[in-house]
Amino acid sequence: MTVLDSAGLRGVDTTAGLVNQSDPKWSITAASQKSRPKTSAMSTAITNALTANNASYAASFTKGDLALPPAKKYLVLTCMDARIDPAAALGIELGDAHVIRNAGASAVDALRSIIISEQLLGTNEILLIKHTGCGMLTFTNKDAYAIVSENLGADASNIDFLPFPVLDEAVKNDVEFLKKSEFVPDAVKISGWIYQVETGKIVSVV
């Protein structure tokens, strides 16, 4: 197997995720989406705060010589949910592992990044971690298509947003998908977990 061992590969996992905006727990309304103009890159309160934080981080940064391949040769696939911090929850140190995030911790959506992680950068274990209270449990594709149409006037019916109705079954299905994939070697260890946002604990599913 050919594995990259120097700088030169950059992979970005792009994803899309929607929520049921009729649910009162979601704060973004259709009206606010419609009225939000597209803007060019510029300073905002968010970017100002983040760049200030980055300046503090960079001032004491000492790990610029880490190797490109993850040192512990595993990857974590989890959700993009803002309540999850995989590094803190699992004790992942900088340079240890790949962390792939998308809406719902979808193995189907992450397959491109998983292949790159294993075939080019040498990982040999996958921890797939979905979580309680996931937004992907709250809508169907039909709901998503209606929301996109109402908000944007666009037809998203050719997109599978990969929602799921039952959490533990979704974990099992994604693990099974990876085990059956021709792009994931049989030797790769794969496990499925649920992160409890209420307690911070992970629970083994499969």
Predicted local distance difference test score (pLDDT) of residue 26: 43
- pLDDT for 107-153, tens place per residue? 999 999 999 999 999 999 999 999 999 999 999 999 999 999 999 99
Please, which residues bridge with residue 126 across strands? Answer: 75, 190
The DSSP H or E segment spanning 90 is helix 86-90
Cα 90 from Cα 66, distance rounded (Å): 20
Higher-confidence residue: 58 or 22? 58
- For the stretch 75-97, pLDDT in tens is 999 999 999 999 999 999 999 99
pLDDT of 42: 82
Known binding residue 79? Answer is yes
96 annotated as a binding-site residue: no
Q: What is the DSSP letter of 10?
A: -
Please indicate if the annotation marks 98 as binding a ligand.
no
Using pLDDT thresholds of 50, 70 and 90, give the confidence band for residue 177.
very high
Cα 107 to Cα 20, 32, 121, distances in angstroms? 22, 32, 18
Residue 134 assigned to a binding site: yes
Residues of the chain with pLDDT > 70, as a percent, come to: 80
Q: State the virtual CA torsion across 193, 117, 51, 66 in degrees, nearest 10.
A: 110
